[in-house]
Amino acid sequence: MSTKVGIPRALLFHEYAPLWTTFFEELGAQVIISENTNKTILNEGVQSTVDDACLPVKLFHGHVLNLKDKVDYIFIPRIMSLFKGEHICPKFCGLPEMIKNSIKDLPKIISTEIDFIKSKNNLNETIYEIGKYFSNDFNDISRAYDIAYLKFEKYKKNTLNNIPNTNNKKIMLMGHSYNLYDTYVNMNAINKISSNQIDVLTPQMIDDIHINEYSKKYKGKLFWTFARKLIGTTLYLIENKNVDGIIYVSSFGCGIDSIIVNTIERYIKRKSNIPFMLLTLDEHTGEGGLNTRIEAFIDMIKWRDKDEGNISAHG
């Protein structure tokens, strides 16, 4: 029987799923992904986490609990840095310890450090560290990674090609992938918007080439990967005027967002008249309130159109 490796359907799973799942499968493991977020996962995650953690970290705990009795290993890498010269949110660095301290009777945790702050020179070492749980043959591990990376590239390309080509109004749903693509947490915000004949874009649909190019227009160095991506996306949208509104979906207690959102909002107000709205979610957010805010935002966009932009974009 093949070894079972669990991957929590949370945090960066929403970006790297094809890479991680293919890599383990190519090494002969059976990959088990936690269920879609549901009430039990949310409640158990909240109960097992310290109060002041952000919602995505609480959810991550819930997804680990969902997996813990079903697998031999759980993949929880210690992510320090994904790109040269950039940091990631500190919550990712301490995640394996946090999980081990909060949840009892866990299977073995694959908590290999991923740290590319200086360069990706140690990529092979990192891959080997993870792959050796399933194979001792470096060539085998390297082959598995190459196949996984190709699949990941293809997935990213498909996401880019997903931009709807219609005359509908367009709203950019901005934020961390795990807030945008977890439909339970954001109460299906994408569907709520698109059911109004509005096309929804996410930062994952913007080519990294544009994001990197426009992030350089930011005055100052962007040390945070999330900041580079989201500020780069905003500056690209402002200059190319290709959306009719921007909704930022954030989580209560996110330190990174408290800085990014402020910067993004200032840029939008100063350099464009694109309407902007911040939606902050936590475990108590009610669906009624969320619906009202989204509907009001969409109405405002439609009225502005009729009224030739005489309605203020920012209230």
Binding residues for ligand SF4, rule: CB under 6 A, are 54, 56-57, 89, 91, 176, 226, 251, 254-257
| Minimum CB–partner distance for residue 186 and ligand SF4 (Å) | 13
Question: Would you say 44 or 182 has its CB closer to ligand SF4?
Answer: 182
| Minimum CB–partner distance for residue 286 and ligand SF4 (Å) | 20
Question: Would you say 76 or 141 has its CB closer to ligand SF4?
Answer: 76
| Minimum CB–partner distance for residue 261 and ligand SF4 (Å) | 11
Question: Would you say 54 or 82 has its CB closer to ligand SF4?
Answer: 54
Question: Would you say 180 or 256 has its CB closer to ligand SF4?
Answer: 256
| Minimum CB–partner distance for residue 224 and ligand SF4 (Å) | 9
Query: Hey, what are 314's tokens?
Result: 């920012």
Question: Would you say 255 or 309 has its CB closer to ligand SF4?
Answer: 255
| Minimum CB–partner distance for residue 110 and ligand SF4 (Å) | 19
| Minimum CB–partner distance for residue 226 and ligand SF4 (Å) | 6
Dihedral of CA atoms 256, 257, 259, 260 in degrees, nearest 10, equals 110
Question: Would you say 32 or 98 has its CB closer to ligand SF4?
Answer: 98
| Minimum CB–partner distance for residue 87 and ligand SF4 (Å) | 11
Question: Would you say 259 or 296 has its CB closer to ligand SF4?
Answer: 259
Q: Which residues pair with 199 in a beta bridge?
A: 170
